[in-house]
Amino acid sequence: MGCVLGRAAASSSPAASRRKRGKNRASPQPAAAAEAGSPSAAAAPGGDGRPRRRLGGRRAPGPRQGCVPAAAAAEQLAAGWPPWLVAVAGEALRGWAPRRADTFEKLNKIGSGTYSNVYRARDTVSGRIVALKKVRFDNLEPESVKFMAREILILRRLDHPNVIKLEGLVTSRMSCSLYLVFEYMEHDLAGLAASPDVKFTLPQIKCYMQQLLSGLEHCHDNNVLHRDIKGSNLLLDNNGILKIADFGLATFFDPRHKRPMTSRVVTLWYRPPELLLGATDYGVGIDLWSAGCILAELLYGKPIMPGRTEVEQLHKIFKLCGSPSEEYWKKSKLPHATIFKPQQPYKRCIRETFKDFPASALPLVETLLAIDPAERQTATAALHSDFFSTEPYACDPSSLPTYPPSKEMDAKLRDEEARRLRAAAKAKGEAKRTRPRDRSHRAGPAPEANAEIQANLDQRRRMITHANAKSKSEKFPPPHQDGAMGNPLGSCRHMEPMFEHQDASFSTVVPIEKGTSQTWSGPLFDPSALGQSRRKKQTTLDAKAAAYSKQLQKEKGGIRAR
């Protein structure tokens, strides 16, 4: 790769880190520094390990990613970090030393997105298998690099068994790419849930949810919002340990000093109503809503609100969870309230819809899927709910079944292979119909005239469903366009991949047909031309049927003559 790897020059042991975790809670930081991704002045020590001083009774401003002393920058350059990275993200590199990167061997790609690819690789020094996340930058745009630096700072702050651990950085002096090195996890929850051979039991679901909420509790206690909780971002190893991953959309937040943030976060199927209504002042409730969707999805066996557009998603939320109260509309003052406020209120029907859920699960689902984010409480409260304190209890992670490696990409490949086989079978059938007819065999009845038209329409509907169902966070506008960073909030295009499909098993990502490069929100054809197209097709089919009938009569006449 022609790179260098950055590892922490001096790191404490895992046991020591766990002992410190409860003591060193990161305190909130100023708004500007928070959105930039810098640690709190009070919570995070400087690169030399000494705490920062408070000046005049006020908190010293948190460091910006590129704000490092000239001497420290010179040391980083001498260590091998490229100038473009030191200039913008020097704070994120503080205390990390480079290592030769030719000791990494790429094995295969295990994930991809608009801004990054993930590879399985081998560390040839230790023999360990790791995951390399390659982040691409557009012409080394400073804001893109700052956004990446925020992700690094967040990952370096977090230290929990249920949060993915950043082990180092790999960069090249000759290219504009950066590799983040993580421990390798064999599965993700989306891939497992999409596997036809996997069926989760209630103790397993409790085990996974307990780990998810524990990881979120740690993030929120350290003033971090993940902002993209979904199945494909929940990784699992063969020991049953779940880890929250992909902090590309994560940000620091300060509950005491609110500042505007972008509402263009969270994959559509897991996006809370306040974000769909344009909220820019939010907190831990957005992650808890996503966790509630995951819980209901695991119990239900499929996504509970698979919207294809933001309007449809909001409609599904109101139909299931009820529309907001008049009091909520008044106090929230959401930007899109006047546009999306329903004329008639919707009644909440979670208990009726999920009446087959375990009795202990319904109260937790009701809480996490509350329309008012203040009513979702906290991850700590969720961990103390009756769902986890009643039988059957959550199983131990080590007792979970061992599955073959399964990731969301594997599910996509299975879907693509199934489509390929269907297309091949259809092509083979077409070929059979066009071969010269064997006159020695009795001819079958003519096909129904409308059968081919109906097949084509069915295929178009499937294509529309798959395309609109797409829902990946990678398709959002560049995440660094956050409101607090001085850039306009992105236009309202959903991940709109968002909206990936109704048939998706668990995750929001559904592969679309090859050759499609557009996310549709409507028909693939001109409705006004549909009648003309049908008439033309019908005329052609009628002519073929008449010719076929005439040929059949001739053959019968020949048989009688003989």
In order of their start, the domains of the chain are 4-12+26-48+63-183 (3.30.200.20), 186-422+459-538 (1.10.510.10)
Pairwise CA distance, residues 174 & 2, whole Å: 8
Other CB atoms within 10 Å distance of the CB of residue 327: 9
The pLDDT assigned to 331 comes to 83
Q: How far apart are CA 30 and CA 58, in angstroms?
A: 11
pLDDT at 453 over 90: no
pLDDT surpasses 70 at 462: no
Q: Give the distance from CA 51 to its chain's centroid.
A: 36
Mean pLDDT in the chain? Answer: 73
Non-local (6+) Cβ contacts of 161 within 8 A are 214, 241, 243
CA–CA dist 145, 82 (Å, integer):
12
Asked whether 340 and 311 are in contact (CB, 8 A), the reply is: yes
Give dist(CA 83, CA 57) in Å, integer.
36
The residue from 188, 228, 246, 287 that is catalytic is 228
pLDDT at res. 85: 82
Tell the burial category of 490 from Cβ atoms under 10 Å away from its Cβ (0-12, 13-18, 19+): middle
User: Residue 261: helix, strand or coil by DSSP?
Assistant: coil
Number of C-alpha atoms within 13 angstroms, CB side, residue 5? 21
**Mean pLDDT of all residues in 195-209:** 92
Neighbouring residues of 133: CB distance < 8 A, sequence distance ≥ 6: 116, 117, 118, 179, 180, 182
Instruction: Report phi then psi at 358, rounded to 5.
Output: -55, 145
In this structure, the dihedral spanned by the alpha carbons of residues 312, 315, 321 and 323, taken in order and rounded to 10 degrees, is 150
Contact 179, 3 (CB under 8 A): yes
Rounded Cα distance, 87 and 168, in Å: 19
Tokens of 267: 């994959």
Better-predicted residue by pLDDT, 534 or 515: 534
Contact 89, 145 (CB under 8 A): yes
d(CA 232, CA 185): 12
Q: 278-290 in b/e burial notation, b at 16+ Cβ within 10 A?
A: bbbebbbbbbbbb
| Structure tokens given for 366 | 């009701």
Give residue for tokens 């992909």: 246
The C-alpha atoms of residue 266 and residue 230 are separated, in whole angstroms, by 8
Query: Is 133 a known ligand-binding residue?
Result: yes
Q: List the structure tokens of 130.
A: 């790791």
> Which range is most confident: 35-49, 406-420, 540-554?
540-554
Burial degree of 486 (CB within 10 A; 0-12, 13-18, 19+):
exposed
Strand, coil or helix: 547: helix
* Rg of the chain taking only CA atoms, in angstroms: 28
CB burial string 225-242: b at 16+ within 10 A, e below: bbbbbbbbbbbbeeebbb
The pLDDT score that the predictor gives to residue 103 is 80
Residue 57 is which amino acid? G
Residue 512 has pLDDT above 90, yes or no: no
CA–CA gap between residue 290 and residue 271 (Å, rounded): 7
Structure letter (DSSP) for residue 27: P
pLDDT at 409: 53
Confidence at residue 323, expressed as pLDDT on a 0 to 100 scale: 92
pTM score, whole prediction: 0.64
| Tokens representing residue 91 in the block | 């704070």
Q: How much is the average pLDDT of 411-434?
A: 65
pLDDT band at 159 (very low <50, low <70, confident <90, very high): very high
- 228 catalytic? Reply is yes
Compute the half-sphere exposure of residue 481: CA atoms within 13 Å on the CB side of its CA: 11
Contact 171, 4 (CB under 8 A): yes
pLDDT digits (tens, 9 = 90+) for 92-147: 888 886 666 788 899 999 888 767 889 999 998 899 999 999 887 766 677 888 88
Measured distance CA(262)–CA(281) in Å, rounded? 9
- CA count, 13 A, side-chain hemisphere, 304: 26
